[in-house]
Chain A
């Protein structure tokens, strides 16, 4: 296992377009998280899954955002009708439930630029 993979690494899109990001977590990890990070700031929680169930969504996650984790494996985060304010780094992380001491393992992120 090579860790958490995110694709693409960079995405430039025009305002109003839809974009989809993919995250492949560590295979043994049953929890998967999405965070958003703007330059120089700490990551902000968006949503998380335990296996295939989406257990919590932040109020930051407007109705233009949707996330899925079919079969409890990879996850996708879709943003519809992108806005310039959506420009950020989108980070995915995974963890093993009940073993917080190991922390999250993060992917390298997808940097979204909306022009």
Chain B
């Protein structure tokens, strides 16, 4: 079973601060996705990264896929209360069709 470890597990920051969430594995993934989940709802896709070293930006969110495709990071600039939620990385293992393995999750709370 692939294991995707996220750090930190929990992060509480004030509005306007920057933060980085990490997603690490000892195994290679053919692609990696980031989702955000709000209480009582299912996860919603934020981004897919495929190429080692790839960087994608989505407004104030920057996603990076490690060169070896074993790790990823999510950086949020000037966090807002609307960014509050559970952030999940999910990796696709080569040769496993489209079955995603999810990370352990990072719960972000942004306060005014």
Q: Interface residues, chain A, CB within 8 Å of chain B?
A: 4, 31, 33, 35, 40-45, 48, 50, 55-56, 91, 93, 95, 97-98, 100-109, 111
Q: Does B112 contact A (CB under 8 A)?
A: no
Q: Which size class do B's interface residues fall under?
A: 20 to 34
| 22 intermolecular pairs with C-beta atoms under 8 Å apart | A40-B107, A42-B88, A42-B104, A43-B43, A43-B102, A50-B97, A55-B97, A56-B99, A95-B98, A97-B97, A97-B98, A98-B98, A100-B92, A100-B98, A102-B45, A103-B33, A103-B45, A103-B48, A104-B100, A106-B42, A106-B43, A108-B41
Q: Interface majority SS on B: helix, strand, loop or mixed?
A: strand
Counted as pairs of residues, one from A and one from B, with CB atoms less than 8 Å apart, the total is 64
Q: Are A31 and B98 in contact (CB under 8 A)?
A: yes
Q: Are A40 and B101 in contact (CB under 8 A)?
A: no
Chain B residue numbers with a CB within 8 Å of A40 are 86, 105, 107
Q: Interface residues, chain B, CB within 8 Å of chain A?
A: 4, 6, 31, 33, 35, 40-45, 48, 50, 86, 88, 90, 92, 97-105, 107
